């Protein structure tokens, strides 16, 4: 099964962390990504620019509404993601727990709703 690991962090805290700490964290992410790849679980993954660079778009009454900022104001912000292949939720949780974000913020694990599944459910 495919799972998304959504990484939520307090981006203000991350931005103000000392350089040494930042280095340590990105090294940990590097190693984590490598471990995912070596295990064959890695499908995709990237880091997102901070929410100040976010733009939200919505169509209402035929009008395009473009907002400066993220969709939701939250204590922790979406900062990146991994898409992984795992046999079940427990394996996905095991990988989520190893993600450095699990000890600094939150990792949300969401199964991919495969097209074949929702087509056959109808």
Partner 1 sequence: MDNRPEIARAAAEAAARQSYGKLVAYLAARTRDVAGAEDALADAFAAALERWPQTGVPDRPESWLLAVARRRRVDAVRRRLTSEAGRDHLRLVAEEVEARTADEDFPDERLRLMFACAHPAIDASARAPLILQTILGFDAATIASAFLVSPATMGQRLVRAKGRIRETGIPFRVPERSELGERLDAVLEAIYATFAEGWSDPVGTETRGRNLATEGIWLGRLVASLMPEEAEALGLLALMLFAEARRAARRSPEGNFVPLAEQDTALWDDTLIDEAEALLGRAAAKAIIGRYQLEAAVQSAHTARRRSGRTDWTAIRQLYDALLSIAGSPVVAINRAVAIAEAGGAAAGLDALDAIGDDRRLADYQPYWAARAGLLAKLGKTQQAAAAYERAIGLERDPALRRFLQTERSKLTRNRGEATTPSS
Minimum CB distance to partner 1 smaller for 94 or for 114: 94
Strand bridging mode 106-111 / 55-60: unpaired
Residues of this chain that interact with partner 1 (CB under 8 A) are 24, 27-28, 30-36, 38-39, 89-90, 93-94, 97-98, 100, 102-103, 109
**Cβ 52 to partner 1 shortest distance, Å:** 27
Instruction: Give me the least distance between CB of 26 and partner 1, in Å please.
Output: 11
Residues in the chain: 122
Closer CB to partner 1, residue 34 or residue 117? 34
In the bound state with partner 1, the residue whose beta carbon lies nearer, of 14 and 28, is 28
User: Are residues 4 and 85 in contact, defined by beta-carbon separation less than 8 angstroms?
Assistant: no
Place of tokens 């989520």: 96
Shortest Å, Cβ 58 to partner 1: 32
Contact 100, 26 (CB under 8 A): no
**And the tokens for 72?**
């939701």
């Amino acid at each position: 099964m495919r799972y998304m690991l959504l990484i939520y962090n307090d981006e203000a805290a991350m931005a103000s962390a000392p350089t040494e700490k930042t280095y340590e964290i990105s090294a940990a992410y590097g190693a984590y990504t490598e471990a995912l790849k070596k295990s064959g679980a890695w499908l995709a993954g990237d880091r997102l620019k901070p929410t100040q660079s976010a733009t939200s778009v919505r169509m209402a009454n035929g009008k395009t509404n473009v907002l400066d900022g993220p969709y939701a104001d939250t204590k922790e912000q979406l900062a990146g993601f991994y898409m992984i292949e795992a046999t079940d939720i427990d394996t996905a949780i095991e990988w989520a727990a190893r993600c450095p974000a699990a000890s600094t913020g939150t990792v949300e694990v969401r199964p991919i709703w495969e097209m074949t599944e929702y087509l056959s459910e109808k």
